[in-house]
Chain A
Amino acid sequence: MKLFLLCFLPIIGVIVPILAKGFGRSQIAFFTALLPSVSLALLFSEMFAVFDGAVISHQIAWVSSLGLNLSLRLDGLAFLFATLILGIGLLVILYARYYLSERDNMSRFYSYLILFMAAMLGVVLSGNLIQMWFFWEMTSISSFLLISFWNHKSEARKGARLALTVTGFGGLCLLAGVILIGETVGSYELDVVLNAGDLIRTSSYYPQILILVLLGAFTKSAQFPFHFWLPHAMAAPTPVSAYLHSATMVKAGVFLLARLYPALSGTDMWFVLVTTTGLMTLLYGAYTAVFQHDLKGLLAYSTISHLGLITLLFGLNRDMAAVAAVFHIINHATFKASLFMGAGIIDHESGSRDMRKLNGLYRYMPITATLAMVAAAAMAGVPLLNGFLSKEMFFAEVLEQRTIGAISWLIPVLATVGAALSVAYSLRFIHDVFFNGEPRDLPKTPHEPPRYMRVPVEVLVAICLLVGAFPAFTIGALLNSAGQATINNAVPEFSLAIWHGFNIPLLMSFIAIVGGVLIYMSRKHLFRFQASFQTINASEIFDKVIHQIQCGAQKVIGWIDNGSYQRSAFILAAFALLMLAIPISKISEPLERLAHTNVEIPVIVGCILLILGSIATVLVSHQRIIALAMLSLVGLVVSIAFNYYSAPDLALTQVLVEVVAVILLLLTLYFFPQTTPSSTTGPAGFARDILLASTIGAVIGTVCLLMLTYHSESVSQFYIDNAKTGGGGTNVVNVILVDFRGFDTMGEILVLGIAALGIYKLIARMRLSIRTRDAQGRLWSEDKHPMILSVVSQSLLPLALLISAYIFLRGHNLPGGGFIAGLITAVAMILQYFAHGVSWVIARNKIVYQSLIVSGLMIALLTGMAPLFWGYPFLTTWFDYFTLPVIGKFELTSALVFDLGVYLTVVGSTMLILSNLGKLTTNQRLKVKER
């Protein structure tokens, strides 16, 4: 439980600064610091248990299927890191209070900082790999926020994006690696994984696992060649740099190496990858650091090189080396944090970070200078300071390793070179900044910072000194338990003495120091030499690359998705053809056997008509009006076909729909050019389309023939048997429509209704140029409403209504029904519009078609819902027979009411569509008031 408090108090702490917004700056800082201090206290209360080698862990099941548990685990390593994170975190909070200016939004800064702290704490305390990844990514996000804190600055934005992209990439690799580990081991719990080292090393996935995990670690801890994000992260406020680049962010990477050391290390692959990376990073960082003019730049590259050193140590596959690495982690954290803070103070008080301007500051800020110098000396590895001890261990270890046989001597030599370089840049830091003449045109005259701004530096430097002077006493126990936890094994004997007698490591240190001094002496030449290379700016390159990629992607997308309907349609049709062709091509029956012999002249005639009609429609499709005529011919043939093949309902419906559709198309055509403009598709396109279309036609025809020959027993007999008894009607089709499958009909009329609404929507906003002449420029006929038509239509209307009523009523038993009746009515009414014109009709016909639709749908739906109240399912029908005098025996059925709904909807929709379309040409045209 304590553990959870320790881990989650900071998370709660994220909101504290926001709550404290109202208070003064010091108060905000104070409140912010509260919770972390509490968890630090909690942490220390566990200290002795941990030093005795105990592993305190606590779990709560979370996502079992994912193997993700809330699982915290405090061992030596975790303790060490937690201490660094919280301790230095607190110092940074204090420091930032003085560093940030009035303009900066302090509480936002603090909550980001605490978020980051919490995330780091989560990483190091995780007892579950996925949970660790969880917090790992949180660190990426929060560091993104911290680096971009001054997001009005371009370099801050760029730096943040760069850091996020690189570390995010690493994070994703880590996720993959972690899941591979989990799937291999069968658990994500650290305790299990750490003891399953052999299983992992022998599994076939080991190479992938190793590479993925290392990618995660190296990107995070800025190892070569992923180092380039770190210097640009310096755009962050200095407290952030002091925190991210000393104790936390970049240390997460090496923490991962340490954490998974028992599980992954011990193979040659590990040695090669980790050692080489570490070595290159060490040298590259150290070398580049020498040439930095920006104070923070120098520190950034030195950080890179020290991380390289640590990585190198882990790579050596030697337990003692791992311990040394842990030791150096501590030391680097302390002196690097203090150095960053020192640099921040200098920047803050002198207004510049450029070492070409900063000189001889010793006279202006002696105390700060002294502190900085001590820290820098520690960085250089000067005896009596902590840096020296770990450096000695480092030398001893690189001397010991023999993995690469005869050329093993290479590593110590290069290590010494790296050390020499680090001495050189430390020297430069000290000499250039604090001595070396007078400051040149600084924005302001430097002076000592406020008292408490210096406190954090003092504390850290004190630690450097103490550890350096009395290592065994100060750090022994911590290092021992941490090392033990790292290698998951008893730590080999080692002595934390300052003096081991004259030995090769000492010699190497000596060489390094002398060499460093020499390098610094000859810096002039070196700078000149270096100047001959042009400097490369990683973030600009990154921006360019990303931009290039985006442009490329835009091209590709633009090329694939050019918004052309024809392309989409072609692909769809082709895809469909492919899908159809695959199984059909497998059918072995010779087709001629499918051909039934009997020849019926009407069928042949009909088919020929249909074929000719369709082809004609295509051929004359540019002559739109003719094409329309051809089309309606086809429609007519279809309805005749339906009638011929004993489907009178279909025939009736088809004919009526035909009529309405043709009227609709004619009306539409009125607003369109009479001819299609010459084709926009090239001949190639034509050929392609014709080929595709005809192939599809052929295949569909074949399938049709197959269906006709091989169609299987269907469920239909049931309908025929139950139509009368169960549905109370003799017209099976109609009974299916309104009863057996009434739900389809419900949906169908809804579609019709929605279509009407949609069309209303479309028309309401339509702006059209009404043409007074046809294609040949002749005026439209003046005789709008021919006499005969008006007379006939008027007399026709009641008759039509009567017929539709009849059709409607008999629908349940004979061909007919609501839909057909509705269409008849609609056609009759449209005729009125034709005969007399819109205004005439509107004057006489007060029906609001919309409400027709509404009531129609409503009736249908309610008839469907009525049975619910008797406990029957939706759309259950009811019918019964009554006998009245005069009329005699007659039937009442709820299906009839349902059908009435259909009828009304059909009439309403059709009329709403056609009348509004018709009105477009008149002054009655529909206008929607903009609400």
Chain B
Amino acid sequence: MEIWFSVAVGVATACGVFLMLRAHTFTLVLGLTLLSYAVNLFLFASGGLTTDSAAILGDKAINSDPLPQALVLTAIVIGFAMTAFACIQAMRARSESGHDHVDGKEQRDISTKTETP
């Protein structure tokens, strides 16, 4: 099952990164969210995957690693804060520049563009 998990993480990462490479802020936000899902899964996996042994002290023996869970939780929260900020930043940028291109100007292929901002 690790294979499947890894493939899923890989694909999600790829999609997220791809969206993060686009030029429109809203797409970037989508990409950011997707990427952070992937990253959280990745971070989560760093402690190994175990089924039905939640890190609650009780009768059952715990063989899952609670630390990555805590880290992921922190990561999720921070990721949420960042996503929120990114959304509003995107709106603000749009309201300043009139459209939602990240550089504020519709531009052709970056490799052919040469003037400084």
Contacts and interface: CB of A to CB of B under 8 A. Distances in A.
Interface of A: 554-555, 557-559, 561-567, 569-570, 573, 594-596, 598-600, 603-604, 606-607, 610-611, 614-615, 617-618, 621, 624, 627-628, 631, 634-635, 638, 641-642, 644-650, 653-654, 657, 660-661, 664-665, 668-669, 671-673, 676-677, 679-682, 684-685, 689-690, 692-694, 696-698, 700-705, 707-709, 711, 714-716, 719-720, 723-724, 730-733, 736-737, 740-741, 744-745, 748-749, 751-752, 754-755, 758-759, 762-763, 765-768, 813-815, 819, 909, 913, 917
27 contacts: A555-B114, A562-B114, A564-B110, A565-B103, A566-B23, A603-B1, A607-B8, A638-B37, A645-B44, A645-B50, A660-B80, A672-B90, A676-B22, A679-B22, A692-B17, A693-B17, A696-B17, A704-B9, A708-B6, A711-B47, A716-B67, A719-B67, A733-B70, A740-B70, A744-B71, A763-B92, A814-B56
A647 B54 contact: yes
Contacts of B70: 733, 736-737, 740-741, 744
A720 B17 contact: no
A758 B17 contact: no
A520 B81 CA distance: 86
Given A565-B23, A618-B19, A610 B8 contact: yes
Given A664-B83, A698-B14, A736-B66, A731 B50 contact: no
B19 A621 contact: yes
Contacts of B42: 700, 703-704, 707
Given A661-B33, A737-B70, A913-B88, A752 B81 contact: yes
Contacts of B1: 596, 598-600, 603-604
Nearest to A768: B95
A611 B55 contact: no
Chain A to chain B: the 3 pairs with minimum beta-carbon distance, closest first: A701-B10, A697-B14, A693-B18
Given A650-B76, A708-B5, A731-B55, 9 more contacts: A558-B114, A564-B107, A566-B23, A704-B5, A705-B2, A708-B49, A711-B46, A733-B73, A749-B77
B69 A733 contact: yes
Contacts of B58: 730
Contacts of B78: 748, 751-752
B109 A681 contact: yes
B26 A672 contact: yes
A905 to B, nearest CB: 10
Given A671-B94, A732-B56, A634 B81 contact: no
A606 B69 CA distance: 20
Contact of B83 (A555, A661, A708): A661
Given A611-B7, A692-B21, A716 B65 contact: yes
A700 B4 contact: no
B56 to A, nearest CB: 5
Contacts of A680: 23-24, 101, 106-108
Contacts, number: 343
Nearest to B16: A614
A755 B81 CA distance: 6
A610 B83 CA distance: 20
A573 B58 CA distance: 44
A876 to B, nearest CB: 18
B27 A567 contact: no
Nearest to A741: B70
Contact of A614 (B15, B24, B45, B79): B15
A762 to B, nearest CB: 5
Nearest to A660: B80
A653 B76 contact: yes
Interface in B13-43: 13-24, 26-27, 29-30, 33-34, 37-38, 40-42
A765 B92 contact: yes
Contacts of A730: 56-58
A569 B20 contact: yes
Given A562-B110, A708-B2, A689 B10 contact: no
Contacts of A559: 114
Contact of A668 (B12, B47, B72, B88): B88
A696 B14 contact: yes
Contacts of A765: 92
B77 A819 contact: yes
B2 to A, nearest CB: 4
A631 B33 contact: yes
A646 B54 contact: yes
A354 B89 CA distance: 67
Given A562-B114, A635-B37, A646-B51, A693 B15 contact: yes
Contacts of B71: 744
Given A685-B110, A720-B55, A668 B87 contact: yes
Contacts of B4: 603-604, 607
A615 to B, nearest CB: 6
Contacts of A758: 85
A704 B6 contact: yes
A452 to B, nearest CB: 58
B13 A607 contact: no
A690 B18 contact: yes
A595 B108 contact: no
A603 B57 contact: no
Nearest to B5: A607
B115 A638 contact: no
B29 A704 contact: no
Nearest to A667: B87
A615 B11 contact: yes
Contact of B13 (A638, A641, A701, A714): A701
A637 to B, nearest CB: 9
B93 to A, nearest CB: 9
Contact of A737 (B7, B17, B73, B91): B73
A561 B1 CA distance: 45
A708 B9 CA distance: 12
Given A563-B116, A641-B41, A634 B34 contact: yes
Nearest to A561: B116
Contact of B84 (A664, A676, A715, A749): A664
A399 B110 CA distance: 69
A682 B110 CA distance: 9
Contact of B74 (A564, A702, A737, A814): A737
